[in-house]
Amino acid sequence: MATENRSRFNNYIAPGLFAVAKESFKRYPETWKEFFSTRTSKRAYEESGYTSGFGYLPVKPEGAAIEYDSRIQGPVKRWVHNTHALGCRISQEAIEDVMYGIMKTAMKDLGVSAAATRHLEAIRMIINGTSTTYHTAGDGKAIFASDHVRLGGGTWSNLASAADPTATTLEAAVRNFENITDHRGKRYEQKATYVWCGPVWEFTISKLLTSVALPGTANNDDNAMKQRRNLKLVVDPEITNNYWGVGGPKDEDVGLIWFDRIKPSLSRHGDPDTGDVKYFIRGRWSNEANDPRQIYCVPAT
């Protein structure tokens, strides 16, 4: 067990340093919550299923019997809550002798580690969303796939062909996202409300969304994306690949869902034999996706 004792911080025992820099950096906000519906859980695990609606109404000839339809049951996805924990042990002598306030920041630093872990776990679903390595949708496909199973037959897609963000590819992404139909092929109000990306595309997409004239053109065409849509730009620092895309309103029952079984909580315990102090942070949560039609991905070239 690693223990923070005086030998680990021997430079900080005696006065003389004018400063000791700690990792008191300002941290990014919880941008990942833009993509996820967040819920709490009181169970060992949670499950979500989805069901199709009915199809279109056929013409009923005069005197003929009415046709009957039945809804179709979809797959069930399970959210299993993992436990995450980390501790820090500090010797009594280090608490007594080490200067510059180093020992007092242990609990804060554990909290920073917990927040960073949650952020990375959430965004891992997006940056690895075209593979099934870590997560799958309810139909067994990757989160982003061009052949998601439509319960009424056929497939639907939330994955575009690889393309860098331009006015043309952004318009295509919005159009394709909004053309996703339900499991019986009916249209519904699927509106793009934001464009997401990592820092690599932040400035390019910002120009596409905010310029009055259409960027990249010589004839100063009006930028319809700004004039008519006013989409929000969501930049997440953990999206380190070139993926980008669009998204719409979150759904509490399907799509990307985060469950908190136990939110990260800090505790402190003393060791009566040694006088050492132990700090712990522990939480239980899970994140999965069932029917991920609220988010659309464009892998960059």
Alpha carbons 208 and 171: distance in angstroms, whole number: 10
Q: 179-202 burial string, b = 16+ CB within 10 Å, else e?
A: ebebbbeeeeebebbbbbbbebbb
C-alpha triplet 10, 14, 16: angle, nearest 5°: 115
Average pLDDT, the chain: 86
pLDDT digits (tens, 9 = 90+) for 239-268: 999 999 999 999 888 899 999 999 999 888
Say whether pLDDT at 80 is over 60.
Answer: yes
- The pLDDT, as a whole number, for residue 212 is 67
- The pLDDT, as a whole number, for residue 269 is 84
Q: Which uninterrupted H or E stretch holds 146? A: none
High-pLDDT (> 90) share of the chain, %: 66
pLDDT digits (tens, 9 = 90+) for 171-223: 999 999 999 999 999 999 999 999 999 999 999 999 999 876 666 666 556 67
Spatial strand order in the sheet of 256-270: 3-4, 82-90, 277-289, 256-270, 37-40
Say whether pLDDT at 21 is over 80.
Answer: no
The Cα-based distances of 202 to 68, 104, 150 in angstroms read 51, 37, 33
High-pLDDT (> 70) share of the chain, %: 83
- Written as six digits, the tokens of 163 are 């393309």
- The pLDDT, as a whole number, for residue 202 is 96
- Written as six digits, the tokens of 194 are 């934001």
- The pLDDT, as a whole number, for residue 16 is 45
Say whether pLDDT at 103 is over 80.
Answer: no
Please give the distance of CA 100 from its chain centroid, rounded to a whole number. Answer: 37
Say whether pLDDT at 14 is over 50.
Answer: no
- Written as six digits, the tokens of 78 are 């399970």
Q: Nearest-CA neighbor of 176 among 74, 255, 293?
A: 293
Show the domains of the chain with their CATH numbers.
30-49+76-298 (3.90.1690.10)
